[in-house]
Amino acid sequence: MSTNPVVLVTGCSTGGIGYSLCEEFARKGCTVYATSRRAETIADFAQGAVERLALDVNSDESVAAVVKHVVEREGKIDVLVNNAGITSPGPLVDQPLKAVKEVYETNVFAVLRLTDAVVPIMAKQGHGTIVNIGSIAGETPTPWSGVYASSKAALTSISDVLFMELKPFNISVLHVSPGGIKSNIATNGTARMNVAPDTLYTDFVPLILKRIQSSQGPNSMPTREFATRVVAKTLSKKPPRYMTLGGSSGLFTLFKWLPRGFVLYILWRAFSPRK
């Protein structure tokens, strides 16, 4: 059983922020369990204290089995990072309900499923930290990302409530609201884009693609830097309730203080044809 902090991270496919978070936790001396729906999507780690596991965050049985495996091996779980997430770009009225449900299953319900599984363990050991990876789009939505943004808005509220309700058990909750981070999200988003064959938005498709790629611009933060900063806060004596970082995160922080209608006007102008 490990005397080092034991960390369980979801959504760790190579090239994403989950993978970099695992590397950084391991570099800081933690015992790390990196998970993905298919373990083979997780490349080898330079650090030795990382075990790769297959985990379907949308399966009660899979979550229970992985959590049981970690606790039997280590005797505890100190940190849970709810990082797994998917998107479904495109006009909101073009979204098949099946795609909407898939996003909410992974981005919202899976977080509750993992949290429900680890909270009794953390409460029994008298401490723990839960890190939920949200998005600046969950606080100020943009066109063409309505499903993703609304799921991350739900996660923001969930994090706030957990922050309050888990205080009696000495469990910290850190909500991370990333801006642009260099990762696989644009590639995955393009593959999952939904535009109906008879869409009303034919002329808008280039703008939808522009929105998908916007998180990977020149001001996007490297995953290594993102991981370094998030892990440092997570392992601190008193983790904060909230942090935001990455490309455009400062701008979106300002947006929260400006009149909502004005902000929505600016964002619509940024991702719509100018006539």
Phi, psi for 133 (deg, rounded to 5): -90, 105
Contact, 255 vs 189, CB < 8 A?
A: no
Q: For residues 76-99, b (16+ Cβ closer than 10 Å) or e, as one string?
A: bbbbbbbbbbbbbbbbbebbeeeb
Strand order in the sheet with 50-54: 50-54, 31-36, 6-9, 79-82, 128-133, 171-178, 242-245
- With H, G, I as helix, E, B as strand and everything else as coil, classify residue 170: coil
Indicate which residue of 19, 148, 201, 242 is catalytic: 148
> Is residue 227 within 8 Å of 219, Cβ to Cβ?
no
265 is catalytic: no
Question: Cα dist. 95→20, 24, 193, 194, 257 in Å?
Answer: 31, 36, 9, 6, 30
Question: What are the catalytic residues?
Answer: 148
